[in-house]
Chains A and B, each alone.
Chain A
Amino acid sequence: MHKLRHSNIGRLMFFITVGILLFLASNRVDELRVYQGATLAMYVIAISSLILLTGYSGQVSLGHGALLAIGGYSAALAHNYFSFPIWLCFIVAILVAAAAGAVLGTAAARLSGPYLAGTTLALAVGLPSIANQFGFLGGEQGLLFDVGMPPARLGATFSPYKWYFWIAGVTALIAIWSLQNILRSRFGRTWRAVRDNEVAAELVGIHVGKAKTLAFTVSAGLAGLAGALLAMTISTVSPSAFPLALSFSLLTGAVLSGVTSLPGVMIGAVTLVATPEIADAITSRFATSDNVTTNLPGLLVSALLVLVVLLVPNGPAEQVRRIRSRRSASTHR
């Protein structure tokens, strides 16, 4: 099984299998779970984009929410003003966000540490307010993004949420499969080289600036796709759909996933979907005031972020791996 996973055909089979399993599962669970499944798929893509950027190319972004917003708005605009079919809207989202990522990336490639962090944070804070300023972006209310009802041949009882889940699920599978391919290609190797030691990378002829910008572009494209999916699931795009808290959540998800491992992305995504549920459970159990209810999810996510960064900065999965390898090393003394 191990060898099978690593060959390309093996991986393809893996994804197809997962797809079939998801399809079967979607027929057996209730509306809420299906809807959450769609959100989960969106988070998987969004967190993966951060894992690519930070874990594989060593750049930090505190404002990926802004890139999701760009993707979401592009998709909505493409749909509302040009009547593009949904799949084309997603492509538009990817391209526009990637373009933004390319621009941002050329600047980001020359920055590091706190400067990059601050710049991306600035973007996350300010971008939603830009939407307020321009009329065609729908202002405070935002725009509608209605992907329409599921096709008739799926039957009258096929709910829109299941439709969202199918779209999101397939999109996520394709996206992650593609991302994995890219990461295993020479691009991935280049990025890892840059991440580990920029100077050494330059010395072997890697153009560090270009590599970093490319990573940012791909990451942004993925983020834009996630943004379009997010817009689909809530049927709107508005400044309040992409708040600063979203960037925090994604960051938390990425750190939880273990920033260097793509397979770990499920940990982060599941946590992000589960947190509101947990918060709900707590608030209904303890009959809390309005203030506590609205702020509890944010509190949980922030607390999680702080705890993980302080205690297991490379993610719980990596920590377990390290403990295991240390143990096996000591038995060899």
Chain B
Amino acid sequence: MFQLINTFLIGITSGSIYSLMAIALVLVWRSTRVVNFAQAGQALLSTYIGFEFIQRFHSFWIALVLSMIFGALISALVDLVFMRLLFSRNTQGPIAGVAPIIATLGLLGLIRAGIGMVLGSTDANIRPPVSNVGFTISGHTLAFSPLKLLIVSATLVLVLVLSLIFQRTNIGLALRASAYAPEIARLAGVRVDGIRTLGWALAGAAGAAAGMLQTPNGTGALSSDSLEFSLLLVFGFIAAVIGGLESLVGAVIGGLLLGLVLAFVLTYISGSLVFITAFVVLILVLLIRPSGLIGTKRGRRA
């Protein structure tokens, strides 16, 4: 019984992290029709910056907020420099559709190599800000601790705030309009380019949050070639696809679903099959419901 509950809790926790990453990917996808693979590298960089702030201010919370701000700035910078450069050139040929994606991949490599060079010997370790010892109920220890509660609630709060922004504010309306129909939005007077950069900034903040929250939850150690961040990217992508790349709610549901499925495989089948399962889920969703389990039938072509 407790194993079931624990598996569920593990799934929710890891699923929340995947959701955060998925949100970052979806935000960029909706505003620019690009999957920004460099998001993982940006998240890594933001987390390193967060680590530095922890050293400076001795507070995880301040560092979290600051790393999100920096994550936003970095992401906006990437959009301004990179993407505008890309879109100002008219490409033809077989690469045209995926040139931006390959560029973000190159950027990912650049960021990681750069981090390795500059920060490689920094012994970066982020310790949990709250206890990571599981709650106990009638003698059993749950796979849920204050830290994991923090992760799940932080994700919920972020999603709520983002949804509010999107649905209830003028900026949110501009963001949605620019994503659905940039030309019409322009004709209505919306500064679509600036709005797009804002979308990227929000994505950067979400990615930074994912990095900052996941690191103390894992080994706590940061390194430029960590498999963890690569997996975070992949699982975040899969979560986004499950939810259909179009909606934030979908990203969250996709993340949670993926987290739960993987947790069950981990506990009841075998840890070594986790990645294969994720991959199979990805393929299944893409083949059966390409617009995602949540998305409307708007097709999965770029």
A binding-site residues for B, Cβ under 8 Å: 54-55, 58, 60, 62, 107, 110-115, 117-119, 121-123, 125-126, 129-130, 132-134, 195, 244-245, 248, 251-252, 255, 259-260, 289-292, 294-296, 298-299, 301-303, 305-306, 309-310, 313-314, 318
Contacts and interface: CB of A to CB of B under 8 A. Distances in A.
A112 B279 contact: no
A118 B260 CA distance: 21
B106 A54 contact: no
A299 B272 contact: no
A295 B93 contact: no
Interface string B83-113: 0011001011111111101110111111011
Contact of B302 (A114, A245, A309): A114
Contacts of B106: 248, 252, 302-303, 305-306, 309
Q: How many residues of B sit at the interface, in one of the four size bands?
A: 35 or more
B103 A299 contact: no
A62 to B, nearest CB: 6
Given A295-B224, A313-B99, A244 B282 contact: no
A298 B112 CA distance: 9
Contact of A292 (B112, B117, B241): B117
A114 B37 CA distance: 10
Contacts of B278: 122, 126
B120 interface: yes
Contact of A302 (B110, B227, B282, B286): B110
B70 interface: no
Interface in B258-288: 271-273, 275-276, 278-279, 282-283, 286-287
B286 A115 contact: yes
Given A55-B94, A122-B234, A291-B118, 7 more contacts: A54-B94, A117-B35, A122-B238, A129-B227, A248-B106, A289-B121, A309-B106
Contacts of B300: 111-112, 115
A267 B187 CA distance: 46
Contacts of A60: 95, 98, 101-102
Interface of B: 29, 34-35, 37, 82, 85-86, 89, 91-99, 101-103, 105-110, 112-114, 116-118, 120-121, 224, 227, 230-231, 233-234, 237-238, 241, 245, 271-273, 275-276, 278-279, 282-283, 286-287, 290, 300-302
A264 B96 CA distance: 19
Interface centre among A130, A251, A259, A310 (most CB of B within 10 A): A310
3 interchain residue pairs of minimum CB distance? A302-B109, A133-B272, A291-B120
B110 A126 contact: no
B80 to A, nearest CB: 14
B43 to A, nearest CB: 15
A123 B279 contact: yes
A160 B82 CA distance: 46
Given A248-B105, A299-B110, A309-B103, A110 B95 contact: no
B279 A122 contact: yes
B116 A121 contact: no
Contact of B117 (A132, A296, A309): A296
Nearest to A118: B237
B102 A305 contact: yes
A189 to B, nearest CB: 16
B113 A302 contact: yes
B109 A114 contact: no
Contacts of A244: 230
A111 B241 CA distance: 12
A82 to B, nearest CB: 25
B96 A298 contact: no
A122 B282 contact: yes
Given A54-B94, A302-B106, A107 B287 contact: yes
A305 B109 CA distance: 9
Contacts of A107: 283, 286-287
Contact of A113 (B116, B224, B301): B301
Contacts of A126: 231, 234, 275-276, 278-279
